[in-house]
């Protein structure tokens, strides 16, 4: 069974801390994505990556960075966490093969910044 | 301007009734794809159905069908014979093939569907 695994389901951090959210996929997918989900706002794209060491900004990259050192792993980094980054974070992956390729999602990480 | 609009924040439906969840989209691309995902309270995003912009037939997957009206830029999800397990958030999403940038999906804000016994 194909899988996207996010390392933590729930995370509580303090304002100003550096936070790492990890995502691993076992499908050999080229594309990986980080979204955040907030009530009433749907899912918004933070960053994505087409390949190892590649990254592209999504719609809301401010306050975030990413790292993709290996094809299967895509990390989201909050350099100095703030309360407005409290949210559900969803990682996803897909192949490059065409417009019909769906995204496979992880279970999400609910991050609370206090 | 929003690229994906879901006008129903929430819906209550009686079990066994058919449900239509609305979705309109905005793109100037000729080639694009439309998706529906279901998110139960457990949080996982479950892919339901896909419609390509060049597909002439409406997509169907079991109890799910997509009512695709290209001229209206509408891609409504129809669930026939609703079940209690259909209670969830439903998201409409689009991929613009020629728009450049992300190969990811642009999502709407979602519709919270509650099926009542």
Contact B42 A45 (CB under 8 A): no
**B21 close to B76: Cβ distance less than 8 angstroms:** yes
Tokens describing residue A23: 């995502």
- Measured distance CA(B11)–CA(A15) in Å, rounded: 37
pLDDT confidence of residue B99: 52
Contact A99 B33 (CB under 8 A): yes
Tokens describing residue A73: 């792993």
Task: Return the number of other C-beta atoms located less than 10 Å from residue A2's C-beta.
Answer: 10
Shortest alpha-carbon distance between residue A31 and chain B (Å) = 8
Please tell me if residue A50 touches chain B, with a CB cutoff of 8 Å: yes
Contacts made by residues A51-56, CB under 8 angstroms, sequence distance 24+: A56/B101, A56/B102
Contact B47 A103 (CB under 8 A): yes
Q: What string of pLDDT tens digits covers the 117 residues of chain B?
A: 679 999 999 999 999 999 999 999 999 888 899 999 999 998 889 999 999 999 989 999 999 999 999 999 999 999 999 999 999 999 999 998 765 445 678 999 999 999 999
Which phi and psi angles does A71 have, rounded to 5°? Answer: -60, -35
Task: Provide the β-strand partners of residue A88.
Answer: A37, A110
Please tell me if residue A57 touches chain B, with a CB cutoff of 8 Å: no
**Average confidence (pLDDT) per 10 residues, chain A, 114 residues:** 88 97 94 94 93 91 96 97 97 83 93 97
pLDDT confidence of residue B98: 62
pLDDT confidence of residue A101: 84
CA nearest neighbour of A13 among A91, A87, A66, A68: A87
The three-state secondary structure class of A81 is coil
- Measured distance CA(A101)–CA(A90) in Å, rounded: 18
Please tell me if residue B57 touches chain A, with a CB cutoff of 8 Å: no
- Measured distance CA(A106)–CA(A3) in Å, rounded: 7
Q: Which helix (H) or strand (E) holds B91?
A: strand B88-96
């Amino acid at each position: 069974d194909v899988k996207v695994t996010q390392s933590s389901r729930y995370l509580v951090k303090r304002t100003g801390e550096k936070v790492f959210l990890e995502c691993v996929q076992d499908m050999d997918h080229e594309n990986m994505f980080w979204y955040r989900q907030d009530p009433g706002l749907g899912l918004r794209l933070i960053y994505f990556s087409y390949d190892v060491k590649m990254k592209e900004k999504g719609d809301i990259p401010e306050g975030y960075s990413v790292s993709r050192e290996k094809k299967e792993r895509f990390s989201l980094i909050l350099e100095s966490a703030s309360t407005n980054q409290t949210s559900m974070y969803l990682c996803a992956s897909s192949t490059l093969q065409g417009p019909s390729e769906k995204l496979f999602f992880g279970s999400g990480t609910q991050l609370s910044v206090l | 301007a929003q690229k994906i609009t879901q006008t129903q924040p929430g819906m209550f439906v009686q079990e066994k009734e058919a449900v239509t969840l609305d979705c309109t989209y905005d793109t100037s691309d000729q080639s694009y794809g439309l998706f529906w995902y279901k998110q139960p309270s457990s949080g996982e995003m479950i892919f339901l159905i896909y419609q390509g912009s060049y597909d002439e037939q409406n997509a169907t997957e079991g109890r799910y069908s997509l009512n695709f009206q290209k001229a209206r830029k509408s891609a409504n999800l129809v669930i026939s014979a609703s079940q209690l397990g259909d209670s969830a958030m439903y998201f409409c999403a689009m991929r613009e093939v020629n728009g450049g940038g992300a190969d990811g999906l642009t999502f709407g804000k979602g519709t919270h569907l509650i099926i009542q016994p």
